Each structure stands twice: as C-alpha cells, then as structure tokens.
Structure 1
Amino acid sequence: MGPNGEQVGIVRIEDALRLAQEADLDLVEVAPQARPPVAKLMDFGKFKYESAQKARESRRNQQLTVIKEQKLRPKIDPHDYETKKGHVSRFLSAGNKVKVTIMFRGREQSRPELGFRLLQRLADDVSELGFVESSPKQDGRNMIMVLAPHKNAKAKSKAAKDAGGDEA
C-alpha cells in the first residue's frame, strides 16, 4: 500500500524499500499472515503511537471482573442463611461474580451432600439475579461454586437506582 492508503499491488521487496526511501518513509509490514504479506509506506513512529493509543483505549473500555466470596457452613441457621443470601444478592446485583464456599469440619466432611444441597438451594434462591458459572466442586475440606450475574442485571439495578433517586 502506498503512503496515502492507495493500493500499489504486488511489488518486490527491493522496489518497495526504494519507494519508501524516496518518500522518506518506512516500509511497515501490516499483515504478515496474509499471502502475500501486506506492507504499507508510513512513518513508523506515528504507527507505533497510534497503535499504543488504540491499545490504551481498548484497556479503558474493558470492565474489571470482581469476584466476591461468601463462606457458609453446612449446618447454617435459617436466619444466618437469609443474611448470607442477601449478601450474595447484593454482590450479584452490583454486577460482581460470587464464589460461594462451604467449609466442612470434622465429621461434616463425610456428608458432602449437605453442602451440595445448600449450594443448590442458594443458586435457586438467587436465580433471578445470577446463574451458576461453575457447579459445586469438592476441594479438600471446602465445596466451591461460582455464581455470575446475568448480563443485564447491572443495567437493571442501575436503572432502578436512578429511578429511586429521582423520587427522593
């Protein structure tokens, strides 16, 4: 490609380098995977600067995924369960992933189905806010499950918060 973006066609490397030298520009390989490889006559410093700007802009638009953790025990009291479920709901509605860990102690380790049932119950209770990203897995003394928010959960909670803020 020429300095103004026009198509030059297939040119030998020697001729392309001579053209670049005459125009006081650099010969930059833009698409090395293409057959034949695509090269362009341009100022390499400007090219590096623009690609760095694009990379910085794409990093700025990325959203950071935050994983919150909630720990439970298999023999949890109903009120404590409701409190923990409220925390999980709050995390999911804020758009964060939640890692739910059930800690087994002593003889509880011989009854992993209690933890599995508890995690399933929690997943069902918060199903309108999030979904099970990784199913319950036993990991030594702990059982771990990861819940992720639905794609539109953050937008809904933000809209509800904005609507509530206008009325007050």
Structure 2
Amino acid sequence: MRVPKVRLVGPQGEQVGIVRVEDALRLAQEADLDLVEVAPNSQPPVAKLMDYGKFKYEAAVKAREARRNQANTEIKEMRFRLKIDEHDYETKKGHVVRFLKGGDKVKITIMFRGREQSRPEMGRRLLLKLAEEVQEFAVVENMPSQEGRNMSLVLGPLKKKAEARDEQRKEREARKAAQDAERTEREAAKSSTKAEASDAAAADED
C-alpha cells in the first residue's frame, strides 16, 4: 500500500479507525491475519484484517453456488387460449404448479386470435386469476405485458431449485418407507394367517 494511512476494519467488521499503514500491518501480523485493501478509492482507503485464503475460498464457493442455481433454474412456458374451457384450464394450471414446485420459472402466454386482440383486459384478467390461484407456490416476477398477438406473465418459484429437489427427494423417501411398512405388515398378516391355518389343521388331525 502506497498511502500513509488507512481506515482499518477489524476481522469481525468492527471499525478500528484511521491508523498508519505500519500500525495496521503490525496488527495484522500480531493477529496472524492479512491486511487487505477493500475500498482503494475511499479517502483514506479502507483496509480490513482477514484471512485472505479463507476469504477467497468462501467467495469461490458462493460464486459456484450462484452459477449452479442459475444454471438449474429453467423458464418453462405454458400457452393458454383466451377462451379456454375449464377442464383445459385446470390441466394446464396443474402443469404450472408442478413446474413451480420443481423450482422453475414459468412464462404464461395468452394467444389472442382475430378480434380477441381488441380485448386485452380479458387476457390480463385471466393471467392475474391464474397468478392468484398459484400464489402458494409462486411470486409474480413480471406483470402482464402485451407483445403483438400475445400477452405474457412470468411467475417465479418460491423455492430454489436445490430446495425443491431436496423436498421432492424427502417426499419420495417417505412414500417408499410407507410402502415398505405396508408391505411388511401385509406379509406379517399373511404369515400369521398361514400359521393359524396350520394350527387348525393340526388340531383337526388330533
């Protein structure tokens, strides 16, 4: 550092104050830490006492996690007609919920045909109705917007992809455990019935 003084921050984020660089380096050496310049453009520059190796490692882990979450999150698209019947609406809403529970974003698109383009408020009403009905699993990231013959709304999942996968895995494990317990119970009941039948046959022979 080519400055005479720095504003020093301690390892826990505590403000030490403005000190000479020589004193800051001495404190770093005594604490077995590094003196790292974190805000070089400040007057005076801000430096922090830290374990630089640990800091770089944690930063790399966070960056890798952010990339992984970003890569895992997909945008699914679901298309609706303005005059969709109730059965199709419920079916498509079920797909939207499944995508959201899986940790993916969903782009809902209304496709206008012919004179339907003159009634954009009907499309907006349908999109907002759907958003309200799935609010247990989603947050609206982009309000309805129209582009040409289409109007879209984007829903984001309340849970991250990794969390959703972990939850789904636990649900599968719980279902399997319940099925195994039920199978064991049936086999035990079957064995008990056979034993009773065998005992009854033996009694008849006597």
Is 1:58 the equivalent of 2:62? yes
Partner in structure 2 of residue 23 of structure 1: none
Return 5+ residue gaps in structure 1 as ranges. Answer: 17-26, 41-46
Determine helix, strand or coil for the equivalent of 2:44: coil
CA offset digits 1:97-144 (Å, max 9, x no partner): 111011112211012122122212322322222232222222221111
Partner in structure 2 of residue 95 of structure 1: 103
**Offset, 1:82:** 1.9
* TM-score normalised per structure 2: 0.56
Is 1:150 the equivalent of 2:158? yes
Partner in structure 2 of residue 164 of structure 1: 175
Determine helix, strand or coil for the equivalent of 2:144: strand
Determine helix, strand or coil for the equivalent of 2:103: coil
Partner in structure 2 of residue 43 of structure 1: none
1:39-78 to 2 correspondences below 5 Å: 53-62=57-66, 63-64=69-70, 65-78=73-86
Number of aligned positions between the proteins = 149
AA of the residue aligned to 2:95: H
**Offset, 1:50:** 6.5
Return 5+ residue gaps in structure 2 as ranges. Answer: 1-5, 24-34, 180-206
Greater relative contact order (CA < 8 Å, ≥ 6 in sequence): 1
Determine helix, strand or coil for the equivalent of 1:146: strand
Distance 1:11 1:116, change over 3 A: closer
Distance 1:38 1:127, change over 3 A: closer
Q: Which has the higher helix share?
A: 2
Determine helix, strand or coil for the equivalent of 2:141: strand
In 2, the alpha carbon distance for the partners of 1:136 and 1:60 equals 33
1:10-159 to 2 correspondences below 5 Å: 10-11=19-20, 29-38=37-46, 53-62=57-66, 63-64=69-70, 65-151=73-159, 154=164, 157=168, 159=170
In 2, the alpha carbon distance for the partners of 1:104 and 1:141 equals 5
In 1, the alpha carbon distance for the partners of 2:119 and 2:128 equals 15
* TM-score normalised per structure 1: 0.66
Partner in structure 2 of residue 21 of structure 1: none
In 2, the alpha carbon distance for the partners of 1:124 and 1:38 equals 48
AA of the residue aligned to 2:62: S
In 1, the alpha carbon distance for the partners of 2:156 and 2:100 equals 7
Distance 1:31 1:142, change over 3 A: same
Identity of aligned residues (%): 50
Retained in 1: the 8 A contact 2:101–2:159? no
CA offset digits 1:3-45 (Å, max 9, x no partner): xx9x9x7447xx89xxxxxxxxxx96443144422468xxxxx
AA of the residue aligned to 1:99: K
**Offset, 1:54:** 3.8
